[in-house]
Structure 1
Amino acid sequence: MTDIYAGPVFEMALTQFHRIADRLELPDGQRSRLLYPKKAMTISCPIHLDSGEVAVFQGYRVQHHLTLGPTKGGTRFAPNVDIGEVAALAVWMSWKCALAGLPYGGAKGGITVDPRQLSLRELEALSRRYMQEMIPFVGPHIDVMAPDMGTNEQVMAWFMDTYSMHQGRTVSEIVTGKPVSAGGITGRREATGLGTAHLIERAMQSINLDPGKCTAVIQGFGNVGSVTALELVRRGVKVIGVSDHTACYVDKRGLDIEALDRYATVNGHLSDFSSELLSDPKELLTMECDVLVPAAMERVIDAHTARRLKCRIIAEAANGPTTPDADDVLDAERPEILVIPDILCNSGGVIVSYFEWVQGLQQVFWNRDTVVAKLCELLDDAFSKVISKASSEKISYRFAAITIGVQRIMDAKQSRGLFP
């Protein structure tokens, strides 16, 4: 079955899972039931381009399990999307939801496309076609979509409208991450970055670091990375390095994050913000700093990079930024580095998505202060559980976080039994 999902990202999730399964002494049959997705869909999405030609894009959606409730997960539009990557992200989302105590299984979807190459009309056509093809497989109690890399509030609004037109009524709860004007929730856009910054602050407290004396480096300056940077600055942390796919800037005195954020918001990238502050992006991850935030792509920290790190905290705002061989190095050779694992660190987005889903189902609306307070409460609970398990069993934070997630899913499957 692994051949279906062949690829380095799924292999990474597979390795992580089997390490946990070995520790829990799970038999092969139970492993397969816990690991492999319940459903995986591949679709073709033909659209008319502005040129008049027809282009066909490949789309995917993977639903990992439905044991705890509907599946939940983002939809990414990116050139490198494939079924293996989507399946791995769905597995990680399952563990993330279980760790946070949410009533979801994990899902993920995407289209192999560079959205920057599409006009607004083409992007809308592709978004609507994707949702139209997915209608038989999704629903507010089956699979709830959210934004991810290359998608945003507008794409979610098009998804919702397409599904609602098919149902003949407004179904706002079919997606989360919508504009507030279309049934979204205040605080959802910044939830992942805000949650990352909150957990970094908790991690600093646990190893007695003063935020006002700390520096941070952030790889990836999209929605998550930029909000994390702004929130860290608000807490007194000096952000000395940032990058996106177009540029890397370093200033040991501290970057003007608000100016960078304004520039990126207007231009969609960091390129040409400054010529004086330009730096080599290959050296960003190994810069000396207190907090390193990989907020871009998977597999950016390998074993070689792990040995060269000069930070005290790694806050994994991206999904899967650290490879298993890098984990081996960090566990054996770099015990001074505290890793906030991805399924905990970036769970703020799905937590507030859960609030939005409940809001849509019940038509009860919360203000931003309430949303942030509830978010921090759930993050603190999950963080405390991970610290407690890691300390009592002498295991890494990642091992502890995944074990908690897998154990909860396993317990739910065992109590429900196997039908028929």
Structure 2
Amino acid sequence: MSYRVYNLHKICYHHIMILERTIKTKLTQLLNSFPVVTLTGCRQCGKSTLLKNLLPDYTYISLEDLDIRQIAKEDPRHFISLYPQKVILDEIQQAPELLSYLQTHIDSINESGMYVLTGSQNFLLMQSISQTLAGRTALLTLAPFSVEELRNAELLPDTTNEMLFTGSFPRIYDKHIEPSDFYPSYIKTYIERDVRMLRNITDYSAFTRFLKLCAGRCSQILNITALSEDAGITRKTAEAWLSVLETSYIIYMLKPYYKNFGKRIIKNPKLYFYDTGLVCSLLGLTNPQQIETFYMRGALFENFAVSELVKKRIFQGKSDELYFWRDSNGVEIDVIEEDAMELKAYEIKASETMNTAFFSNIKKVKEIAGIKSENTAVIYSGKSLKATKENGAYICWKEL
């Protein structure tokens, strides 16, 4: 391969392993305020690496280890006596029984930064934590690398197509793995481990087919009935499987904005993936050059931009107050962000050329929605960062 992201031999392993994650500021702040911080996110997004590097004085314990897990499950009091504080408990959903004993221990000591818990399945983890550690833990979500993190580490791919195809998973950059090798293995591991734990799914080939159908619908308004028919499953099953994908941080549902601005609005969410490299693999793409003429190039770029906006918020510890808006006449704003009681509006275009027509939908909505011109922008595939007085800003994808 000729493009730069694969030419990583000049960058040492140590450099990549300590790539600075923007979430660390918020994580450090919360550790000083809460006895427990819970860090969730998809598998291989870098949770363990981040915590080991940020907290070298903490003891790292993985509950994936069968021997350790057995002690935690069968003799939790003894386990806690071995690891009373300043401990990272990785994959805590493997031993949810431990949480109630942790609660008692935490309350007796009552110090900040006692434990950091991590998990890859939001549903199982949050269900257990809400019952036992409510009010004692702060919650954060990690995702694969952001554009900002890759840019700061000088690892950002040179072109849009390379970025979309390569995706953002740390292991690709760390181990110099080609995306066409990484993602099929990731999908297989994810299905065999996480899916089996979250739901009693026995037909893995049907679930894989469903996952590929979802990839073909990225950046589209979700029609569960059509999706279930194409997959040959019931609507109820499709809803359950979408829940699996969402709770294990594979897909993200962008909700419609709840105010109608005087118009009839679409009420179904839009479907996105956290990582476009995964989408490209599911769609059968094998190199970035194929994306140039691929019919879904615009959808892939939109998915990429939305996932970056999501990362920006969750890495700052903010709730994901992101929405889209579309009325019954087809007028749509790709992303509306609610931030500090103000609205921001973004249009997303895969074009490399600036065009004032990109702001046409924002113009139709911004006055009745009360959106200021300085809070509007077009995220595009071009190279420059430019603000205009009459419309808003053009944001280069590399500057997201």
TM-score, normalised with respect to structure 1: 0.30
TM-score, with structure 2 as normaliser: 0.32
